[in-house]
Structures are given as structure tokens and as C-alpha cells.
Amino acid sequence: MLTENLIFLFEKEKKETGKSIAEICNCIGITKQNYNRYKNGSEPTATFFYKIAKYFNISMENLLITDLSKQN
């Protein structure tokens, strides 16, 4: 579920703000290379989880197990 949520959150942010993926990564404090690595299924670090959850104001639990694309 993490990979799907990651793609969903970044695409939603991109659409809503007009920012590129690289700009969103910069705002979060991660590299685009790490984003791509995790988007393609690599195991992310706890720090990565934390930064994503904090930026998007969601719990780490929801990031991992909830299909965010089906929520409001």
C-alpha cells in the first residue's frame, strides 16, 4: 500500500500546487532519487516515512495500510 499511497499523494500534490515531483521532494526534505527508489518498491527508512507523513499531515500507520485514494 505504501507505493500506491506515495504515488497518489505526490500526484495529488502536483495537481493541486503545480509543483514538480522534484520541488515536492525538496519541500519534504528528500531527494527525488529516494522518491523514485521507494516508488519502485525499495524498502524506505523510518525517516522517510516520518517526513512523508508529516508533510502530508497523515499518520505513518495510514500511510502504510490505508488506501488513501479512496478517502475524501
pTM: 0.90
Phi-psi domain of 29 (left: phi exceeds 0; alpha: psi -120 through 50; beta: other)? left
What pLDDT, in 10s, does the model give residues 2-50?
899 999 999 999 999 999 999 999 999 999 999 999 999 898 899 998 9
Give the residue with greater pLDDT, 71 vs 45.
45
Q: Among candidates 51, 43, 55, which has minimal Cα distance to 2?
A: 43
Q: Does residue 72 have a pLDDT over 80?
A: no
Helix axes 21-28, 2-17, angle to 10 degrees: 110
What is d(CA 69, CA 27) in angstroms, rounded to the nearest whole number? 22
Tell me which CATH code domain 2-70 carries: 1.10.260.40
* Torsion of the alpha carbons at 62, 65, 66 and 67, rounded to the nearest 10: 130
For position 5, what pLDDT does the model report?
94
Q: Domain spans of the chain?
A: 2-70
Question: What does the block give as the cell for 30?
Answer: 528528500
